[in-house]
Amino acid sequence: MQGCPARPERCRTRAGRELLRLVKCLCHVSNSFSLAVDCSSWIMHQKLLKNAHYIELGSYQYWPVLVPRGIRLYTYEQIPLFLKDNPYITDGYRAYLPSRLCLKSLFILSNETVNIWSHLLGFLLFFSLGIYDMTAVLPSASASREDFVICSIYLFCFQVCMLCSVGYHVFCCHRSEKTSRRWMALDYAGISVGILGCYVSGVFYAFYCNNYWRQIYLITVLAMILTVFFAQIHPNYLSQQWQRLRLFIFCSVAGYGVVPTVHWVWLNGGVGESVVQDFVPRIIVMYLMAAVAFLFYISKVPERYFPGHLNYLGSSHQLWHIFVVLMLYWWHQSVMYVVQYRLNQPCPDHVENL
Ligand SMILES: [Zn+2]
């Protein structure tokens, strides 16, 4: 009989076996194919209902969420020590999961859902922009091979940054602390790669007409990022004791950009020059966005003032993620603007001869 549930004795619980026998019996009695299909869909529906949980979304109301079998959400008190980072996020934690269920949890509502999807969509954004730039924008601007290489490098860096972050937020709830820590290290490394992408493109186009300083700054930036990598593989890097050092390294790497910027302004004749007035505001906007994002990140505002109310939506880490995507997008727009400018304007003599 097609569609009828077979072998009720395979069912693990007694109630389940009884239920399957009853359904099978009904199917046989009816001797009708359509009823058999109905039976199957009814069983499927019952299964789904069994897996439905109601979770608290902030303090508003209870939302029904279908949670795959084997995944449940925990409160802050219930999660392992290595996941305890933000006491103001009181509920909605995934924990103790094997890799397969970590991946499956992509599709449930937890306190990491917005973190995961914001950067997954960010990855798709930079991937699409990359394809569009390579196939439409650069060819139409008669870009050189060098332009293609630099644009590919920085867009690749942005995509790596997004994917490392997605990886960490998907697998941080892994049952093995070691695996979770490895993904966290990769998340930090991804941020450095994203910053490297900004520096490579910024330095390359800012010093487009000055090969000497372009090489000096590219080498310095590469050396700095490599040093950060070596710091990151140190076993103490992710420890609580090194938290201040981590902040210092991160701020130094991001703040270093002021040096080539000031130098570039000086080389181009000071703040009165039109080329400076055209580009420096873009860098200032970038730094302002980075400062706001970083303030949210370290201060744990706004959930600090509404503990337990922003578990799923509106927490500081989600704002940080959104600001990171906005910053990288802003940088992409700025770089494409500079590419067009450089391809249309020849290098001025007084800079070329420096
Ligand atoms: Zn993150």
Q: How far is the CA of 268 from the centre of ligand 1 (A)?
A: 38
DSSP codes joined into one string, 206-246: HTTT-HHHHHHHHHHHHHHHHHHHHHHTSTTTTSGGGHHHH
Residue 217: count of CB within 10 angstroms of its CB: 24
Binding residues for Zn(2+): 169, 317, 321
Are the C-beta atoms of residues 92 and 110 closer than 8 Å to each other?
A: yes
pLDDT, mean of residues 262-283: 91
Residue 33: count of CB within 10 angstroms of its CB: 13
Q: How far is the CA of 71 from the centre of ligand 1 (A)?
A: 21
29-38, 70-79, 311-320: which range is least confident on average? 29-38
pLDDT at 331 (0 to 100): 97
pLDDT at 44 (0 to 100): 52
Q: How far apart are CA 55 and CA 75, in angstroms?
A: 11
Cβ contacts of 232 within 8 Å, gap of 6 or more? 185, 188, 189, 192
Q: How far is the CA of 115 from the centre of ligand 1 (A)?
A: 6
Q: How far is the CA of 259 from the centre of ligand 1 (A)?
A: 28
pLDDT, mean of residues 188-216: 94
pTM to 2 decimal places: 0.79
Q: How far is the CA of 187 from the centre of ligand 1 (A)?
A: 7
Binding residues: 169, 317, 321
Architecture of the domain whose range is 108-352: Up-down Bundle (1.20)
Predicted confidence band of residue 244 (pLDDT cuts 50, 70, 90): confident
| Chain segment 275-327, per-residue pLDDT in tens | 899 899 999 999 999 999 999 999 999 999 999 999 999 999 999 999 999 99
Q: Residue 34: is its pLDDT beyond 50?
A: no
